[in-house]
Amino acid sequence: MLTSLKQRTEGEGTQATHTHEPRVHTHDHYHLTHVHVEGEPPEWRHQASWHTHEHDHRQVVHSHDYGRANEDEHHARRAHVHDHEHPVHGEHI
């Protein structure tokens, strides 16, 4: 059984601390891999892959230094965790 954790922020950004309720939605789910490339000097590069499926987000309490409109508009582009083992709604996805 999962338990709820009390969330809070240590200080605030330019946007006041606010809460996003749990929700289920669909957008591309990205995976980013670090790839070692041989050469002089050796370097690391990023390789991205993605797929689209329905997933959920648990409730989150947070603050940030970009506007709420930016947060909503660019949500699908931001890296975030999807809890596939313990979804908020419905069956295992």
pLDDT digits (tens, 9 = 90+) for 1-10: 455 678 888 8
For 26-82, how does the pLDDT look when each residue is reduced to its tens digit (9 = 90+)? 878 788 899 999 888 889 999 989 888 777 777 888 898 988 888 888 877 776 666
Asked if residue 92 belongs to a domain, the reply is no
Asked if residue 48 belongs to a domain, the reply is yes
**Nearest CA-CA partner of 43 in 35, 33, 51:** 35
CB atoms within 10 A of CB 55: 19
What residue numbers bound the domain in which 25 lies? 18-77
Asked if residue 42 belongs to a domain, the reply is yes
| pLDDT recorded at residue 78 | 72
- Contact, 92 vs 43, CB < 8 A? no
Asked if residue 51 belongs to a domain, the reply is yes
Which has more confidence, 85 or 54?
54
Asked if residue 83 belongs to a domain, the reply is no
Distance CA 59, CA 15 (A): 18
Count how many domains the chain has: 1
| pLDDT recorded at residue 35 | 93
- Contact, 68 vs 2, CB < 8 A? no
Predicted confidence band of residue 88 (pLDDT cuts 50, 70, 90): low
Distance CA 39, CA 42 (A): 5
Asked if residue 6 belongs to a domain, the reply is no
Asked if residue 85 belongs to a domain, the reply is no
Asked if residue 29 belongs to a domain, the reply is yes
